[in-house]
Chain A
Amino acid sequence: LSFNTSLWSRVCSPLSPPHCHPFAVIALTMVGHGGMFTFNKNDGYLEALVRGYRAGLLSQADYANLVQCDVLEDMKLHLAQTDYGDFLANEPSPLHTTTIAAKCLDRLVDEFNHVRIQAVQPLASFLDYISYGYMIDNVVLLITGTLHERDISELIDKCHPLGFFKSMATLSVAHNVAELYNNVLIDTPLAPYIQGCLSEEDLDEMNIEIIRNTLYKAYLEDFFKYCEEMGGETAMIMGEILKFEADRRAINITINSFGTELSKDDREKLYPNFGHLYPEGIARLAKTDDADAVREILAAYPTYRDVLTDSADKSLEDCFFEHEVKLNKAAFETQFGYGIFYAYIKLREQEIRNIVWIAECISQQMKTKINQFIPIF
């Protein structure tokens, strides 16, 4: 029965052309790209690999042990017993939190690249889509850094390695958005995204934030569209995750814009055009002036009502992270979809955040706050 219903839901999804015979659609979902029929042939190995990686995520017991550590060397000793292995073995004592973070990230990047290199289409472009998000962050980081006259090589060290692109360093040459586009971004996959905010204005803090959000909006919409076109489990899982991501961005933009020069019209332009909040919630968000109103708007949506109920002692950000972890974990419950690749990267990132948090608490002797991480499994 479950097989039937899941298939049926796919058949009846708004994507399938209405004039198609249902069985033709079933056949399509099975044979087409990312369909059940060819999934294991093309992506089965990598899926298995990622599921294996997922099994290496730290467990509750691991966290329970980690929070008992007194110095960072203890963490190293414990992490050596997990899947992290001897990743810190060549680091001289005393350890620093930044080293741990960097090494953790290295591992994530290694894993991602390993998967990316072996992926075939359409998984390869799906994975590329994941890296575009990091590219946007890198672009913004570099522009901001140049604005503050930082050294370019120092900035590049800070960039997320998943978002590297070739002509990255040249970003420092750009003085306005048009130059940015014409000199650098035109070669990158981000080129189509920036076309929405081309202007001859000089770059400043405000501009950069707008660029970031415009890029991100365009990126999310494109990614969402791509996943929807792919259909099947990918559309289902990624749809949920990306809708949440879009909503989170909208809410964050709204809250962060209070008390800035950003006009409401400009703000509305930055909201992604999909998501659970779209369109009514977005329209209401565009008109709000204070945080309480935001909360009120969100209360109308069951997903976010649950997310926000126990937010008394947690920041909104943590609540969102928690919800994100929940969604990403759900991705592993399904098969024949690319959601798990995205989810794994996000979960691993969360784990790195957790490790860094614990390490920071240990190195700064803030043991009381050490439990404020977000456990995954």
Chain B
Amino acid sequence: MGHLWRSEPMQLVQLFVQIEAAHDTVDELGNLGLIQFRDLNPDVNAFQRNFVNEVKRCDEMERKLRFFEAQVGQEPGVKRLLSSVSVDNGAASSSSSTQSLDELEGRFDELEKELAQMNANQTMLNRNNNELVELQHVLTKDAVFFQEAYGNVGEPRRGEDARAPLLASGASSGVGGDMFGAAAGGVKLGFVTGVIARDKIPAFERVLWRATRGNLFMRQATVEQKLRDPVSGVEVEKNVFIIFFQGDRLQQKIKKICESFQANVYPSPDTTRERGELLNQVTHRLQDLEVVLTRSRENRKQVLASVAVHLQAWRTRVMKEKAIYHTMNMFNYDIGRKCLIAEGWCPKTATEEIQYALRRATQRSGALVPSILSVIRAVHEQPPTYNRTSKYTKAFQEIVNAYGIAHYREVNPAVLSIVTFPFLFGVMFGDVGHGFFLLIFSLILIIKEKQLGSQKLNEIIAMPFGGRYVLFLMSLFAIYAGFIYNEFFSLPMDIFGTTWHQPNSTSGNIPDLTRTYPFGIDPAWKGAPNELDFYNSFKMKMSIVFGILQMSVGIFLSFFNAMAMKRPHSIINMWLNVVPQIMFLWSIFGYMCFLIFYKWYIDWPHLPVPVSPPFILPLIIGMFLQPSQPPEPVMFPGQHTLHYFLLAVAGISLMLMLPVKLAVLKMLHNKEHNQVGHEKHHDDHHDHAGGVVHHQQDDFDDECLDVSHGDIEFSEVAIHQVIHTIEFVLGAISNTASYLRLWALSLAHSELSTVFWDRLVAGPVAGGSVPMIFVFWSVWFAGTFAVLLVMESLSAFLHALRLHWVEFQNKFYIGDGTRFAPFEYKTILNPEEQ
């Protein structure tokens, strides 16, 4: 608890590391992850730093690794290997860490060259293969084209020269027939045949038609086999085309167009026989090529498999190296003494461990001079805030951090949030049944913790998984509040036996006055005509009481902040901030809470002189607006005097907060102003009235939160104080009202679930149709799940969050700190965790 209450005391340390030992030292510290290095060369450009060449080398190696990965990714078989290896990378990384960076770089170079060579070969082979396949298709399709043409003419003449003027004439009917019929006039027809990407066909046709003014005949057929583009690796759908035309000029033109459309034109022999021979040849060559291709593919696969095994380890290694050199770039390089000077923040408790790591590094590197760690005085800088968390407290700390990182050494609201946050959620989400579902869900997450934690989750699962312990507590409190409200999916549970019974049907319920319902609300209230009046009154008052309680706690926490300050600021903040605030809050709203309890306590109908109970809100308002009039009825003797007293207290506390505090601050300011000449090293501190805190390293007292005024304009301080006071006074009212959201959400939740139950379950059951009951029951369950369990829980979470961030934390929380971000391999290698 101690380490959660306030952040760890930090110290600024300076390390003197021999240049030979630097790399190993940073490596060891990276494993340790307890020191946050400061950038000592903020003005130096990235490319002018000392170890920029090493960083560049790492970049280059990373590029090669990416190249390998992309290559591996192209081979599905090997890719599986990669993912299976990545699970147990721990062992692999330790084995490779013995390899030096130079060796690794050499190996990468070789591998890259080898792969590039292989890829080039393979691309060439693929291209040849594609060409042959395309030629094969061209030849087979062309045969069909010619066949059709002859078929149309009616005289299949194998072995006939395709260019020869054809004999068939007038009898022709088909398109091909026309074509050849025209050719019969004695003009020689030429043809160009080839393969083109299917999506280019329309444009191709159009351009051809325009260029030849329609003097061509084109046939095309689809190639069913998809061809892989050898360079980009994308599968392309292609068509075979054949174009018949007249004359040489057109041939040139058409060839040029083909070229511009990246169509592959293939020579096709004129006669059928020759085409058949070529086809055979092509088929043979294709078979040969296939063998070569398979072999080279196998070869490549083997190389890639050997890469894939190491890939994860290599990447880890290179990332670590890069991180090391990045860190070393932040150090000062003392050329004369051949050593690096590093500065960084670390927790005070970690000194031993760091010393030990330094010794280990010196041993590992074999440096002659050991590294030196010395604690130095902090410069004008707030130390980073470091809250050690466990897996249990982490989510709660993150809820607070999402608002703002705590100021160094200020009271951490996460401690109380561990209980209050789920509790307020429960107040709004109180239902035993709904809470039970939430509990099961959170328990599943907790039980499967190890399994889920080791894998990458999608965003929707990752969110509840990160907050599984929050969810767990939230569900427990929801169940608890559900028992208090006595609601189970909106139905009351008669566990202890109701104290109301109905003697006969004519009169209403009669309470059994000998006993009270022991825990929670009597189930008889559910469904009673005045159910809402009762619940509303109860929940409203409860909200106010919880609100005042939590805000008072908030003010008390600022008391702890003030306590930890240095004198005289601790005194000023204590007596002129904390005490008046609590006086103000309690004199008005504390009194209201007292009245709430008092009114509950009094047995109004059985008073000796029965009076109707007073309304509390008008009573409080009356106390302010007409203080001279006594309350009606007087609840206890001396109530009117008490009102005068409370008003006086509120007035005095206002006085203390504003004019008195300002005067004291002014005095202090003047006094310090005179001292500034002597103590120039005093930091510029900023009073945030709530108790601001600045760690000063003069006497290095960590337990001390310090406030002191430097050269800050007094008028600024004064304005700040005025704003703060007004904010507090108005806030006391509006924040209290804001807690009524507890009632509102709880009411909405229970009303919604009641409506769901009445309409979707109770109604159909009363109707008596069994299938309808099934249908409506599933609708009810879906609605309960989607609306109540998911949406309502989100909204209750959100409102609990708001109550903590705004109403609770604005009483004491400064939250202007910076998070302690140590140099740590764990976070560098898995940037998502954190």
Contacts and interface: CB of A to CB of B under 8 A. Distances in A.
Interface of A: 65, 68-69, 73-75, 77-78, 80-81, 89-93, 152-153, 166-167, 169-173, 182-184, 186-187
Nearest to B112: A92
B210 A78 contact: no
B47 A74 contact: yes
B658 interface: no
B63 A89 contact: yes
Counting chain B residues whose Cβ lies within 8 A of the other chain, the interface size class is 20 to 34
B257 A78 contact: no
B207 interface: yes
Contacts, number: 62
In order of increasing CB-CB distance, the 5 nearest A-B pairs are A169-B260, A74-B47, A77-B47, A170-B260, A183-B210
B282 interface: no
Contact of A78 (B45, B55, B63, B256): B45
Contacts of B210: 182-183, 186
14 contacts: A68-B45, A69-B47, A73-B56, A77-B52, A77-B55, A80-B46, A89-B62, A89-B66, A152-B259, A152-B260, A166-B203, A169-B260, A172-B259, A186-B210
A73 B206 CA distance: 48
Most chain A beta-carbon contacts within 10 A, residue among B66, B67, B207, B261: B207
B211 interface: yes
Contact of B207 (A74, A75, A170): A170
A68 B48 contact: yes
A245 B207 CA distance: 34
Contact of A90 (B52, B55, B63, B262): B63
B260 A93 contact: no
A65 B45 contact: yes
B63 A92 contact: yes
Nearest to A65: B45
B253 interface: yes
Interface string B246-274: 00000001001101111000000000000
A173 B56 contact: no
A89 B58 CA distance: 11
Contact of B211 (A73, A77, A78, A173): A173
Given A152-B260, A170-B261, A172-B260, A77 B46 contact: yes
Interface of B: 45-48, 52, 55-56, 59-60, 62-63, 66-67, 203, 206-207, 210-211, 253, 256-257, 259-262
Contacts of A152: 259-260
A74 B207 CA distance: 49
Nearest to B62: A89
A69 B45 CA distance: 10
A78 B55 CA distance: 13
Given A152-B260, A169-B261, 5 more contacts: A68-B48, A77-B55, A89-B66, A92-B63, A172-B260
A221 to B, nearest CB: 28
A170 B257 contact: yes
Nearest to B64: A92
Contacts of B261: 169-170
B63 A183 contact: no
Contacts of A184: 207
Contacts of B56: 73, 77, 93
Contacts of A68: 45, 48
Contacts of A69: 47
B324 to A, nearest CB: 17
A65 B261 CA distance: 45
A58 to B, nearest CB: 14
A173 B260 contact: yes
A166 B262 CA distance: 12
A353 to B, nearest CB: 22
Contacts of A171: 260
Contacts of B52: 74, 77
A169 B262 contact: yes
Given A73-B56, A93-B60, A169-B260, A78 B46 contact: yes
Most chain B beta-carbon contacts within 10 A, residue among A81, A172, A183: A183
